[in-house]
Amino acid sequence: MTKEAAKSEIQKLTEELNRHNHAYYSLSKPEISDNEFDLLLKELEVLEQKFPELASPNSPTQRVGGEITREFRQVTHQYPMLSLSNTYSIEEVKEWETRIHKLIGEEVEYVCEIKFDGVAIGLTYQNGILIQAVTRGDGVQGDDVTENVKTVHNIPLQLKGDGYPVSFEIRGEIFMPHTSFNRLNKMRLEESEEPFANPRNAASGSLKMQNSAEVAKRRLNCFFYYLPGTDLPFKTHYDSLQAARSWGFQISGYIAKCSTIHEIFDFVHEIDQLRKGLPFDIDGAVIKVNDLRQQEILGSTAKSPRWAIAYKFKAEQAETRLNSVDFQVGRTGAVTPVANLEPVLLAGTVVRRASLHNADIIAALDIRIGDTVYVEKGGEIIPKITGVKMEGRLPDSMPVTFLQFCPECRTALIRSEGESAWYCPNREGCPPQIKGRIEHFISRKAMNIDTLGEGKISILYDHGLVRNMADLYDLKQEDLLGLEKVYQDPDTGKERKMSFKEKSATNILSGIQLSRSVPFDRVLYALGIRFVGETVARKLAYRFHSIEAIRNADIDTLIDVEEIGDKIAESVVDYFLQPENMKLIGRLQVAGLNFSLNPDTIINKGTELEGKSIVVSGVFQLYSRDEMKRMVEAHGGKNTGSISSKTTFVLTGENMGPAKKKKAESLQIPLISETDFLQMVNEK
């Protein structure tokens, strides 16, 4: 076959396979059998192997994956991926709708949609070709998971039809259907692996796997619901979704235009009735202003758009019997009571355990072994007990009492004034605390050693190979080979075995080696300093630049850092006063971890904006809006999402929202142009 003939045949097969993919996954109307589809795919694969220069990165053959990703690249969103304001109250939806009318001052039409319980994703298309897929991340930047997303069959790699913008982004929700979830958990149990708690966790974990061929086996799905941007050829949100549907995107059929609050509630109630029969999880309904011009006028806060709200369905409830109560010790030493229940079906899964939170909750519920209890699962991995059914309580039953001694190391528990939790103070000798700190250290948002996990850390600890985080960096291949552990599955009660073979040992050591390149702010978070979460760790790292500078800072200096109060400052100072912590940091430094910022990432340039609250609005000539916001922080200023009497000035670009401009003028807040701002902070 000539190259020209091959090119023509590859194009023909690609178009035919894309059409069948769309018919099967998006329309649920397959036109050919699976075997016929596989034969066509094989034919295309053979041609691409023979003529590799003709193979497209968006070929249907890429759906099976194969790309190995060692680390997901961080990408800044062109438009921040904001979260929706949530409510469980019909009254709050009414108040939101009334507020919208007051702000707009004209007729408003709404679009109601279902709220998928999955993982948010933003896809960018250039000339109809998928070029990038990015997770929500922290809303400002997320992970590039393009190769994994290509394996989701109902996501178009190449758009069909015409009329789509040359370059645009579309957002949706990747989820795992119930059939895929049940199949996956069955396979994991057969392979002695921990089952996923729910489809959302399974989808999230699948999307971040390093091998896209493995992601392809998970059979994920995706619905799309939003096109961000100001240069779109539409006047309404509804029209943009209908256009996206014609380009090949899967848009939910559960969507309605509504003009009144009564029509909105009719939609919400209908979806609430239907949700139990859906083949995927949803957790509410979303109400959006339909007119894109009105959306622009309403704008957004720092966290969420004002033109949309999510109504969350109330958690499902079930009745079951309380058989016993266990007490678990976490990495901070907090002791948490967990109820063991008679198995009961709740929200699509069998529930055997539920949280009792703390001693005060147990006392308030007056809960007793043998009681019939009410259990809810409101988006939590571990459901919670919300009440006791007093009818049928045994006359000789005794209240559940909280422990006085640690269930693991028998140390007397303590409770600090003003706190609800009881703690085991034996930080260096209590096994679950030690293992918990190591598990936090290796977690994705910390050192991201995803080749390890809770079960494997337990094996290493039980065999005396690790007693703290630094011990991980001393592990060798021969230490790991042949290690195994038999344990009892807490959910099923069955015995399972976990063991280390050559491949898993190699992967573990490779993951540990890669963690040496993790940046300082994440290393600081990984140390597990009490009250120091991701955001605080980032603030400390970018303010002080090194672990030595943080260690030498006093409480007053720490409190000067934005978002850090007395409690956090005292915790940080106390951490560095403990000799064992300093010894640990010393060993980690010898292991090659980053305990100072890379000079290229130090963006603090001055204090010209110290103490000033600034709103950034509009489109700028020289920088993106996000870059302008980072520049504000780099010069000591504070970004705020909405204008108030406390706003120092508004940094304005083109197309600033008229409502914001009007409010700034009414409060006599100065409007500063891009040029004036750059001069103010001495930026060239």
Residues annotated as part of the active site: 115
Is the same domain home to 585 and 655?
Answer: no
pLDDT band, very low/low/confident/very high, at 503 (cuts 50, 70, 90) = confident
- pLDDT at residue 193, as a whole number: 63
- pLDDT at residue 192, as a whole number: 55
Q: What is the mean pLDDT of residues 270-286?
A: 89
- Model confidence at 451: pLDDT above 90: no
- Model confidence at 65: pLDDT above 60: no
User: 577: helix, coil or strand?
Assistant: helix
Is the same domain home to 34 and 82?
Answer: no
For the segment 361-393, what is each residue's pLDDT rounded down to a tens digit? Answer: 999 999 999 999 999 875 445 688 989 999 888
Check which CATH number belongs to the domain holding 39 and give it.
Answer: 1.10.287.610
Domain-located, residue 557: yes
Q: What is the mean pLDDT of residues 98-120?
A: 93
Q: Above pLDDT 70, what percent of the chain?
A: 91
- pLDDT at residue 210, as a whole number: 76
- Model confidence at 348: pLDDT above 80: no
Is the same domain home to 344 and 447?
Answer: no
Is the same domain home to 513 and 524?
Answer: no
Counted domains in the chain: 6
- pLDDT at residue 660, as a whole number: 80
pLDDT band, very low/low/confident/very high, at 601 (cuts 50, 70, 90) = low
Is the same domain home to 392 and 464?
Answer: no
> What is the average pLDDT value for the chain, to the nearest integer?
87
For the segment 313-331, what is each residue's pLDDT rounded down to a tens digit? Answer: 877 788 999 999 999 999 9
- Model confidence at 549: pLDDT above 80: yes
User: Which stretch of 87-96, 338-347, 522-531, 632-641 has the lowest confidence by average pLDDT?
Assistant: 632-641
pTM over 0.85: no
- Model confidence at 83: pLDDT above 80: yes
User: Which stretch of 250-259, 282-291, 463-472, 495-504 has the lowest confidence by average pLDDT?
Assistant: 495-504
- pLDDT at residue 320, as a whole number: 95
Q: Which of 517, 552, 567 is the last residue of a domain?
A: 517
Domain-located, residue 653: yes
- Model confidence at 347: pLDDT above 80: no
Which residues span the domain enclosing 330?
A: 316-423
Q: Which of 195-204, 212-221, 504-513, 615-624 has the highest mean pLDDT?
A: 504-513
Strand 119-126 with 74-76, pairing = unpaired
Domain-located, residue 278: yes
Name every residue whose Cβ is closer than 8 Å to that of residue 107 and which is 6 or more positions away in sequence: 259
Domain-located, residue 403: yes
Is the same domain home to 531 and 675?
Answer: no
Query: What is the helix (H) or strand (E) element at residue 497, kind and residue range?
Result: strand 495-499
Q: Which of 601, 632, 661 is the last residue of a domain?
A: 601
Residue corresponding to tokens 């909105």? 264
State how far the Cα of 356 lies from the Cα of 201, in Å rounded to an integer.
22
- Model confidence at 492: pLDDT above 60: no
User: Which stretch of 3-17, 52-66, 333-347, 622-636 has the lowest confidence by average pLDDT?
Assistant: 52-66
pLDDT band, very low/low/confident/very high, at 27 (cuts 50, 70, 90) = low
- Model confidence at 478: pLDDT above 80: yes
Helix residue spans in 531-668 (DSSP H)? 534-544, 547-552, 555-559, 566-577, 579-590, 625-634, 658-666
Domain-located, residue 461: yes
Is the same domain home to 85 and 42?
Answer: no
Q: Above pLDDT 90, what percent of the chain?
A: 46
- pLDDT at residue 562, as a whole number: 67
Check which CATH number belongs to the domain holding 502 and give it.
Answer: 1.10.150.20
Domain-located, residue 606: no
- pLDDT at residue 357, as a whole number: 86
Q: What is the mean pLDDT of residues 192-211?
A: 79
For the segment 295-315, what is each residue's pLDDT rounded down to a tens digit? Answer: 989 988 777 899 999 998 877
Is the same domain home to 485 and 396?
Answer: no
Is the same domain home to 92 and 14?
Answer: no
Helix residue spans in 51-175 (DSSP H)? 90-104, 146-149
Is the same domain home to 637 and 580?
Answer: no
Q: Which of 38, 64, 90 is the last residue of a domain?
A: 64
pLDDT band, very low/low/confident/very high, at 95 (cuts 50, 70, 90) = very high
Check which CATH number belongs to the domain holding 221 and give it.
Answer: 3.30.470.30
Is the same domain home to 218 and 268?
Answer: yes
- pLDDT at residue 294, as a whole number: 93
State how far the Cα of 238 lies from the Cα of 94, in Å rounded to an integer.
22
- pLDDT at residue 582, as a whole number: 97
Go through 484-511 and write b for each residue having 16 or more CB atoms within 10 A of its CB, e for each that does not: ebeeeeebeeeebebebeeebbeebbeb
User: 314: helix, coil or strand?
Assistant: coil
Is the same domain home to 404 and 326?
Answer: yes
Amino acid type, 463: H
109: left (phi over 0), alpha (psi -120 to 50) or beta: beta
- Model confidence at 528: pLDDT above 80: yes
| Alpha-carbon torsion (118, 119, 120, 125), positive or negative | negative
pLDDT band, very low/low/confident/very high, at 555 (cuts 50, 70, 90) = very high
pLDDT band, very low/low/confident/very high, at 161 (cuts 50, 70, 90) = confident
Max intra-chain CA distance, the chain: 88
Domain-located, residue 584: yes
Domain-located, residue 69: no
Check which CATH number belongs to the domain holding 649 and give it.
Answer: 3.40.50.10190
State how far the Cα of 107 lies from the Cα of 110, in Å rounded to an integer.
10
